[in-house]
Amino acid sequence: EPEVTQTPSHQVTQMGQEVILRCVPISNHLYFYWYRQILGQKVEFLVSFYNNEISEKSEIFDDQFSVERPDGSNFTLKIRSTKLEDSAMYFCASEQGAEYEQYFGPGTRLTVT
Amino acid sequence: KQEVTQIPAALSVPEGENLVLNCSFTDSAIYNLQWFRQDPGKGLTSLLLIQSSQREQTSGRLNASLDKSSGRSTLYIAASQPGDSATYLCAVRKKDNDMRFGAGTRLTVKP
């Protein structure tokens, strides 16, 4: 069964460094998402992406964040200058359309020291 | 602003018991509602998706209902098994993509 994959599974970085989290969505899906989950807290929406542009973003998704679909398969989340509070699990998700289920990847655990 | 609440926060039951998990949301103008399962340190596995026009969905031992007007959904698990132990999340969706999650119900099924 097709699945969303994410790399790396765990990333440790120092405060102020740039990180890129990578996702490969399911191949025939058109909508892509990033969410985060701080330890012990709710899953929070960050950004949605469709037709090569951001369709919606939350107040968390500030100028430090960017997303890109550099080729036909990868979908990336970049954090330009990481802060301690960026430490969280980051999930990528994809779907065929808004009326369909969202499928989530296994997540990347980001630890900022 | 949409708020999603799940009750109870934690639930422990003996194997074989039928159980109900509750989800409530403050804004009834939703597009759909999705139930997920999350194992510790893992991603989210989709269980059931209910469109706003539907009243319920079933998959195996799982049945999810939706009462949009009262802002409620329930997930019914029949004949629970230890393998059902996980955190169950509900998420509601507005038409403009934004999905809001509840904090989850942590379920433990004891053998």
How far apart CA B36 and CA B101 sit, in angstroms, is 10
Q: Is the pLDDT of residue A66 over 90?
A: yes
The distance of A71 to chain B (nearest Cα, Å) reads 23
Which chain B residues have a beta carbon less than 8 Å from that of A104?
Answer: 36, 43-46
Residues of B in contact with A35 (CB under 8 A): 99
Mean pLDDT of chain A: 94
CA–CA distance, A109 with B41 (Å, rounded to integer) = 9
Find, among A35, A4, A21, the residue nearest to A111 by Cα: A21
State residue A90's pLDDT score. 98
Of B36, B43, B46, the CB nearest to A105: B43
Across the range B18-37, mean pLDDT stands at 94
> What is the pLDDT at residue A73?
85
pLDDT band at B5 (very low <50, low <70, confident <90, very high): very high
d(CA A97, CA A99): 5
pLDDT in tens, B55-103: 999 999 999 999 999 999 999 999 999 999 999 999 999 866 678 999 9
Residue A84 has pLDDT above 90, yes or no: yes
Q: Which of A56, A51, A110 is nearest to A75 (CA)?
A: A51
Average pLDDT over residues B6-27: 96
Quick check: A44 contacting B, CB < 8 Å? yes
Dump pLDDT digits (tens) for B30-50: 999 999 999 988 889 999 999
User: Which residues in A lie closer than 8 A to residue B43 (C-beta atoms)?
Assistant: 91, 104-107
CA distance linking residue B95 with residue B111, whole number of Å: 42
pLDDT 10s digits, A90-106:
999 999 987 788 999 99
* Per-residue pLDDT at B41: 82
pLDDT of B96: 66
pLDDT attached to residue A61: 95
Which of B106, B42, B101, B39 has the alpha carbon at shortest distance from B73?
B101
Residue among A42, A55, A102 whose CB faces B34 most closely: A102
Closest CA to B6 of B102, B71, B74: B102
Percent of chain B with pLDDT over 70: 97
Question: How does residue A54 score in pLDDT terms, banded at 50, 70 and 90?
Answer: very high
Quick one: average pLDDT of B4-8? 95
Mean pLDDT score, A20-32: 94
Give the dihedral sign, CA B6/B10/B13/B16. positive
- Write out chain B in H/E/C secondary structure: CCCEEEECCEEEEECCCCEEEEEEECCCCCCEEEEEEECCCCCEEEEEEEECCCCEEEECCEEEEEECCCCEEEEEECCCCHHHCEEEEEEEECCCCCEEECCCEEEEEEC
